[in-house]
Structure 1
Amino acid sequence: MSTNKKLVKAAAIAAAAGIFATVFALRLPADSTETSGLSRALPVRTATVKIENGYHARRTFTGRAVPGRVSSMAFELGGTVSEIKVDLGSHVKAGDVLAELDTARLKAQRAQLMAEKDEVAASLDLAERTLKRAQETFQNGHTSASGLMKRKPMPSACGHAPNASRLVLRPLMSMSRNQRCARHLTA
């Protein structure tokens, strides 16, 4: 029996040596050849570095933004704002247009007053021509003095009307010269 024990012992040693050799052989890489003498290199990730002047970091703060200075502004004339050119908090320079007024109603009012002025001027011209004709017919003896007095216009009716229309038109005439200034609100 001692031979059987020796055979079993020898077979166990041979099996252990075979298992050890197999495990060692599997751990070696398949393509390792001793031609270069170097081991296989590990894969490495690379990145391109770009030089920047600075960096941006997003930060959040709790609080309330308050303007450094607030200026109250208004148009010279009343009306409807047609366009706002800047937003709240925008930086503006002197002379920048901030908002524009809709001047369509002012233009229509000016046109109406100009038409009334022309109507008054035409009425005055007609009254003057009628008076001139009545004076000529009186001088030629074709009408009496009472007929001449009927044709003579009353000073309150014709004589002062052009002056009254000038008083009404004067602000609108100056508005038309300064229309660009009046319809723009500038800083």
Structure 2
Amino acid sequence: MMIQKKPIIRKATTEEANLIEDYVNKYFGLEAQKYMQQFSFWIKQGNVREVFVLGENVETIVEKISAYVYSVGIPIGSFWGSKFQIEVEGSALLFSRTSKKVTVKTDQFLYGKHVFVENIETISSDFSKGDMVLVVGKNSLHYGVGKVEINSDEIQNAPTNSILIKGSRDKPLDRGWYLRRGN
């Protein structure tokens, strides 16, 4: 007799998928949201529910073996309680589909450190405090994603040592996280 295992990974509910799509639209725009609609969202159960995207061709296989799958697809973010948070790989998927980008002169963001106003090279579009933006480095390399602490129209008058984007040592928001903590 085979014991039925409870699936570790499951397809996102309609409510979860809507929360993800609404988040992407709010911070990265309609083009980014439409792009994400081509994927199906899958959730890895746990205290923090990790979100993965799968293409249609892989989804049918995963549905059949979900009780045995630990990880699948591209990890795009996590649900912390009922709130979705995009992470580094999710932001990489949106890189060419959004103008919400801040280009930095230095690479301190890759070390989980803050981005200061003095380290900003260019801003691709307006943003408000609390918005999420993609962080871009030299040669247009995708560094990750972060939450801005200052409105874009206030940057010119802000002290150069003001924090624009807070770094994160605990969540995978930047490429350097893989070296610090990642798998």
Instruction: Confirm or deny a common fold (TM above 0.5).
Output: no
TM-score, normalised to structure 1's length?
A: 0.26
Query: Which structure features the higher share of strand residues?
Result: 2
Between Structure 1 and Structure 2, whose CA radius of gyration is higher?
1
Query: Which structure features the higher share of helix residues?
Result: 1
